[in-house]
Amino acid sequence: MTQTRRGFLRNVGIAGGAGVMFNTMGALGLSPAASAETPPFTPLDRSGLQRHGRKKVIVMGGGIAGLTTAYELLKGGYSVTVLEGRNRPGGRNWTVRGGDTHTDLNGRTQRARFSRDQYMNAGPGRIPQMHVTIDYCRELGVPIEVFTNQNADAFLYRENVPGALNGVPVRQRAVKADAYGYTAELLAKATDQGALDAELTPEDKEALISYLRSFGAINSANEYVGGGRRGYDPQPGAHLEAGTPLPQYDISDLFRSTLGNYFSFEMGFDQAMMMFQPVGGMDRIAYALAAAVGIRNVRYNAEIVEYRNTTDGVEVLYRGPEGTRKVSGDFAVNTMPPHIAARIPSNLPAEVVTALGSVSKTNAGKIGIEYERRWWEEDFRIYGGITNANTNVGNVWHPSYGYNGRRGTMIGYYNTGANANFYGALTPEQRFREAVTQGKKIFGDVYGEKVHSHFSQDWASAKFSEAAWVGWPSAVGGQTGAGYQSLLGPTANIYFAGDHLSHAIAWQHGAMTSARATVAQIHERVMA
Ligand code: PHE
């Protein structure tokens, strides 16, 4: 490159003034606005529809993709019928409260006994601030509150690792301070010893050292000697109590434990704070969407058994309380999980069915444990956030609601893949006992004490889901493969939508943006 980015921007600024400069920065992805936008979407305009007659769309599935599809189509003056197999809206967006019952595909029935105002989000539980999900909350009047995805005082736990930190629960702030501190020390020393002379000018080296001082809290001799940021015992207090910083971990123990590797999580585009949750449970979004769509437009307990393109529209057969019924429309939007859609009889071409069935399924599991006291707050001063372990529990979510209250419901484990399958194979009682065995290693006996009730969800054995989310294996070309791409447009009059047809898989944002894209395609076709 003959011109640096900085130099280029300076030249644009001179030639065109600040406005041009700001827009150019946006195009280069440098302005603050560039990263704050969700994909463009113009809500449908019903004014044109009269000319074309009122079109009817059958929406297959009443999860977030289906409900968003129906909601946006209704805005545009379409007529919609949503067919949903479950007796509630939302699909994987499911909040479990006292009295709810669930029978999984293995025939295990659980009845939730959570107290009033206690709940667990069995599916999605956190929303990044830049997701379109937040816009729907605003539009639908669903109040949101902070979901704490990161807490310096939550624990990390690693076992079967080399060194003295094996099997020791540690506070995140302590690990982070040490990992940053030792990294800064080593890099500062290397810089001062000339190891980076080929890369850096003397001024750059000085600037780097200054950065490392602040990053790692190293002293003027470039040494990390711990300090208050990693925690105190006792902590600073009244009068002469200056606090005693806890001693740092040994550098070799620290890095070999892999504990420091956890902090990439909080840098993730979609896991960085701020994150949010609807007040009262994630399903507030599903119910708000369903209410906006209107009860007359949604059929629950409607299990789709066959669907087909006809010469000028679609036909969908479903089994409901009154037996098997047929609905027809001009178009259908199939939002079912692709692995389920693939095995339901249809007249889709074989390649499309193959594409639907080519996904790889990921399982996830959660247990909600209601305690009669908020011991993580009272005993450990952990107010929200996540404790992470390399045991089969994976993640423990300390609730981001009801702080300092009498009761609280923790997510005792949230895990995926093999760990989720391991728990899924157990009975609910066995799952709870295993979670307690593992949880005690981190928190001690309190993890198993004063338990009011528990409820666990295994998404692989959940009817109408059969997975937590899916991926597109590289063997079928991933999301650039012909199979994936064949589902991005209609097959005759049948369209597809869902988070699986987005680059935000396993997020409601993916379901919503995919639904919007499909709605726009339908409308464009109708108006043409
Ligand atoms: N959205 C889910 C979650 O936040 C699944 C997911 C995890 C997606 C991590 C991307 C990254 O738990």
Q: What is the pLDDT of residues 300-336, one digit of tens each?
A: 999 999 999 999 999 999 999 999 999 999 999 999 9
pLDDT in the model for residue 8: 46
In tens, the pLDDT along 32-66 reads: 555 555 678 999 987 766 667 899 999 999 999 99
pLDDT in tens, 3-30: 454 454 445 444 444 444 445 445 555 5
Look at ligand 1, atom 5, and give the residue with the nearest C-alpha.
506
Measured distance CA(371)–CA(229) in Å, rounded:
31
**Span 259-269, mean pLDDT?**
97
State the closest ligand 1 atom to the C-alpha of 268, by its place in the atom list counted from 1: 11
**What pLDDT score does 37 carry?**
59
Residue 2: per-residue pLDDT? 43
Instruction: Please give the distance, rounded to the nearest whole angstrom, from the Cα atom of residue 235 to the centre of ligand 1.
Output: 35
Q: Report the separation in Å between the CA atom of 335 and the middle of ligand 1, taken as the mean of its atom positions.
A: 20
pLDDT at 288: 99
Question: Regarding predicted confidence, which is higher, 111 or 49?
Answer: 111
In this model, does residue 420 exceed pLDDT 90? Answer: yes
* 127 Cα: distance to centroid of ligand 1 (angstroms): 10
CA distances from 486 to 354, 355, 489, 512 (A): 10, 8, 6, 19
Per-residue pLDDT reduced to its tens digit, 64-103: 999 999 999 999 999 999 999 999 999 999 999 999 999 9
Mean pLDDT, range 491-513, rounded to an integer: 98
Report the pLDDT value the prediction gives residue 45, as an integer from 0 to 100: 82
CA-CA distance, 320 to 303, in Å (whole number)? Answer: 6
pLDDT, tens digit, 9 for 90 and up, residues 323-332: 999 999 999 9
User: Which of 133, 271, 388, 413 for mutating ligand 1's site (highest number of atoms within 8 Å of CB)?
Assistant: 271
Is 462:108 a contact under the CB 8 Å cutoff? no
pLDDT value at 31 more than 70: no
What spacing in Å lies between the alpha carbon of 30 and ligand 1's midpoint?
26
- Find the range with the poorest average confidence among 49-53, 111-115, 281-285, 453-457: 49-53
Q: Give the Å distances, CA to CA, from 380 to 436, 442, 502.
A: 17, 11, 40
Whether the predicted pLDDT of 470 surpasses 70: yes
Which pLDDT score, from 0 to 100, does residue 33 have?
Answer: 54
Q: What is the token pair recorded at 180?
A: 């940053």
pLDDT above 80 for 348: yes
User: For all residues of the chain together, what is the average pLDDT?
Assistant: 94
Instruction: Work out the percent of the chain whose per-residue pLDDT is above 90.
Output: 91
Q: What is the structure's pLDDT at 21? A: 45
Q: What is the pLDDT of residues 157-210, one digit of tens each?
A: 999 999 999 999 999 999 999 999 999 999 999 999 999 999 999 999 999 999
Under 8 Å CB-to-CB from 412, ≥6 apart: which residues? Answer: 367, 368, 369, 393, 396, 432, 435, 439, 447, 454
